[in-house]
Structure 1
């Protein structure tokens, strides 16, 4: 059973991701790494905007695993970009 907070988080994240797809498409910059960064930043913002004031529900404590996974993927995309800028030939 979902709560209002869970629904707000999911609806906000979906709206953010659709907006990111639209804006990136308009500017011709739609790629997986850029979309991921935009979506991850939106996820972090949605977590903060939907945070309850007094009590932390149990479902919110599980969000830390998504944040950790997002940080790992962000680090992966960052390392790939740095290596491609350095031109070491490691990244195809």
Structure 2
């Protein structure tokens, strides 16, 4: 059971990332930052969709560190984008 859920998680995450890359290429908007943000959103969706109801396997408890790191990088990207938009003398 745990192996099946783990496999669903990995396949779901890889499918989301592949679909995201293909869509971004088709739209002509592929960049590292945008791919990371779309992949992070997909990763969080897959984490929630594959979460078990009663038992939390050990491998899922380690995902919180990966989610935290992803959110830190996301925050860095947002701050960089906001600073690029602001006029020169504001900050």
- The CA RMSD measured in Å over matched residues stands at 1.4
Residue number in structure 1 paired with 2:26: 26
Offset at 1:5? 1.3
Instruction: Report whether the alignment pairs 1:84 with 2:84.
Output: yes
Deviations 1:3-38 (A, max 9, x none): 111111111000000000000011100001110110
Task: Note the residue ranges of structure 2 that are not aligned, 5 or more in a row.
Answer: none
Residue number in structure 2 paired with 1:49: 49
Cα distance in 2, alignment partners of residues 75 and 88 from structure 1: 21
Task: Note the residue ranges of structure 1 that are not aligned, 5 or more in a row.
Answer: none
Number of residue pairs aligned between Structure 1 and Structure 2: 88
- Give SS of 1:43's match: helix
When normalised by structure 1's length, the TM-score is 0.90
Q: Which has the higher contact order (CA 8 A, sep 6+)?
A: 2
